[in-house]
Amino acid sequence: MKLAILSESPADEAALRVLVEGVLGHPFQFLPPAFRSRGWPSVAQVMPAVIRHLHFGTDATGLVVVVDSDDSVVHTAEHDRPEYFHPQCRLCQLRAIFRQTVKRLPPAHGREHLLRCIGVAVPAIEAWYLCGRDDRVRESAWIEGQARGVPPYTRAELKQRVYGTDRPSLPYEIDCALREVARHRPDTRRLEYDFPGFAALAADLRRWRQGN
């Protein structure tokens, strides 16, 4: 299985590689080069081109995309109803972009289309790193905070808790990310339970596994 990853930074990518392997239960082949976006909405802008490139120019099996939700509307079970689409939900938006892009592509490299694997870290990937360490950090707490108009924590606070500073160096950020996701790798159920944005990614991956 050859996978490409579209992420915002080398640290995010390092963490995703471990988490994807944890969900799949086996190593996968990473397809270089690493694709980078400049955050939202750049990821939505480059994704169709990345999909077309992977579809026609490589034998990649699938594309893994993870973005931070920041202050956007968080995906909920309601959004998963048939034909439902929330225009301010990043998961809904990325899934729609993926769907619209692949449906126009003819089969190539012996496959119908590229497999989709999309996750959203709420509000940022550092929240995933704190899962299991700090019970207050969970997607439901963020949604409740949004509803009250008082977020339970800020992105800067999450960074501070994970890295001890909100200005970590990239190597240190990667070290911390790998240390934290190593806890989740053997069993991602807690991360999936606390963070449905990660569960969405895991569900996509499992669909692939069942299909192969």
Partner 1 sequence: MIASIQFRRFKVLRSAGLQLEPFNLIIGPNGSGKTSLIQAILKLHALAGLPVPAAAESAKTPHGPELIFHFTPPHAAVEARLSCVSELVCDHLQVKSPKAAEWETVKAELAGTRVYLFDHYAMAAAAPRANGVELAANGANLAAVLAARRARDPAAYAVWEAEALRLLPDYSRIELRDKPGDAVELALGLREENEIVPADGLSQGTLYLLALLALAYDPAPPSILCIEEVDRGIHPRRLREVRDMLYRLSYPAAYGLSHAPTQVIATTHSPYLLDQFRDHPEEIVIAQKSGRSATFERLIDRPDLDELLREGSLGDMWFAGLLGGVPDEEISAPPAKEGNHRPG
165 part of the interface to partner 1, by CB under 8 A: yes
Q: Which stretch binds partner 1 (CB under 8 A): 14-22, 59-67, 128-136, 169-177?
A: 169-177
Residue 197 beta carbon to partner 1: minimum distance, rounded to whole angstroms: 18
Binders in 23-42 for partner 1, by CB under 8 A:
36, 38-42
- Three-class DSSP category at 176: helix
**Alpha carbon distance 178, 193 (integer Å):** 20
Q: Which stretch binds partner 1 (CB under 8 A): 51-59, 65-73, 114-122, 201-209?
A: 65-73
Q: Name which position in 49, 156, 190, 209 contacts partner 1 (CB under 8 A).
A: 156
Residue 40 beta carbon to partner 1: minimum distance, rounded to whole angstroms: 7
CB atoms within 10 A of CB 44: 16
159-164: long-range contacts, CB 8 A cutoff, minimum separation 24: 159/124, 159/126, 161/126, 161/130, 161/134, 161/137, 162/126, 162/129, 162/130, 163/126
Token pair, residue 30, equals 């990473």
167 part of the interface to partner 1, by CB under 8 A: yes
**Shorter beta-carbon distance to partner 1: residue 94 or 114:** 94
**Shorter beta-carbon distance to partner 1: residue 40 or 142:** 40
Cβ proximity of 75 and 86 under 8 Å: yes
58 part of the interface to partner 1, by CB under 8 A: no
Binders in 107-136 for partner 1, by CB under 8 A:
none
166 part of the interface to partner 1, by CB under 8 A: yes
The CA distances from residue 130 to 45, 138, 161, 191, in Å, are 30, 9, 8, 10
- Three-class DSSP category at 121: strand
Site size for partner 1 (CB under 8 A): 21
Q: Name which position in 69, 72, 93, 146 contacts partner 1 (CB under 8 A).
A: 72
Whether a cis peptide bond, with omega within 30° of 0, leads into 123 is yes
Question: Which residue intervals of the chain are DSSP H helices?
Answer: 10-24, 42-57, 90-102, 125-130, 139-148, 155-163, 170-184, 189-194, 196-211
159 part of the interface to partner 1, by CB under 8 A: yes
175 part of the interface to partner 1, by CB under 8 A: no
**Shorter beta-carbon distance to partner 1: residue 36 or 161:** 36
- Which residues bind to partner 1, rule: CB under 8 A? 9, 36, 38-42, 70-72, 155-156, 159, 164-171
